[in-house]
Amino acid sequence: MAATRRTSQRVTLLMLVLASVTVLTLDYRGEVSHGIGHIRNGARDVLAPLQRGIAAALHPVGDLFAGAARYGSVQAQNQQLQTSIGELRRKMSEYAAEQQQLRQIAALDKVTFVSNIKMVDAEVLSAPTSNFRDTFELDRGTSSGVAVGEPVVGSNGLVGTVTSAGRSTATVQLITDTRSSVDIRLGANASGFGVVTGRGLGERLNLQLVSGSPNAKETVYTAGTVAAGAGAYPAGLPVGTVSSVHSSPGGFSKTATVTPLANLDSLQYVGVLLWLPSA
Partner 1 sequence: MSGLGWARLAIVVVVGVVAQVSVLDQLVVLGAHPDLMVLLAAAAGLAGGPQSGAMVGFTVGLVADLFVDTPFGLSSLTFVIVGYAVGLLRSIPAGRELGSAQVAACVVTGAAGTLLYAVLGALAGQSGMLGHDTANAVLVVMVGSLVLAPIALACLRWVFSGGRARAGYPVPSGGSATA
Q: Residue numbers of the site for partner 1 (CB under 8 A)?
A: 2, 5, 8-9, 12-13, 16-17, 19-28, 33, 36, 39-40, 43-44, 47, 50-51, 54-55, 58-59, 62, 65-66, 69-70
Closest CA to 270 of 97, 152, 156: 152
Closest approach, Cβ 154 to partner 1, in A, equals: 59
Q: How far is the CB of 75 from partner 1 (least distance, A)?
A: 15
Of the CA atoms within 13 Å of residue 7, those in its CB half-sphere come to 4
- Given the complex with partner 1, which of 67 and 202 has the nearer CB atom? 67
What are the residues whose beta carbons fall under 8 Å from the beta carbon of 126, sequence distance 6 or more?
136, 137
Q: How far is the CB of 55 from partner 1 (least distance, A)?
A: 5
- Residue 79 CB, nearest approach to partner 1 (Å): 19
Which one, 63 or 98, has the nearer CB to partner 1?
63
Q: What is the DSSP string of 172-213?
A: EEETTSTT-EEEEEETTTT--EEEEE--STTSPEEEEEEES-
CB-CB neighbours of 163 under 10 Å: 17
Residue 84 Cβ vs partner 1, minimum distance, rounded to whole Å: 23
Between 17 and 216, name the residue whose CB sits nearer to partner 1.
17
Residues 6+ apart with CB under 8 A from 226: 183, 232, 277
Residue 196: beta bridge partners?
182, 207
Nearer to partner 1, 49 or 229 (CB): 49
Question: Shortest gap between Cβ of 125 and partner 1 (angstroms)?
Answer: 53
Render the burial of 211-245: b for 16+ CB within 10 Å, e for the rest.
ebebeeebbbbbbeeebeeebbbbeebbbbbbbeb
**Nearest distance, CB of residue 63 and partner 1, angstroms:** 8
| Residue number with CB closer to partner 1 (38 or 167) | 38
Instruction: Give the up-direction half-sphere exposure of residue 23: CA atoms within 13 A in the CB hemisphere.
Output: 7
Q: What single letter denotes the amino acid at residue 72?
A: G
Residue with Cβ nearer partner 1 (43 or 235): 43
Of 58 and 235, the one with the shorter C-beta distance to partner 1 is 58
Q: How far apart (Å, rounded) are the C-alpha atoms in residues 259 and 241? A: 5
SS3 at position 125: strand
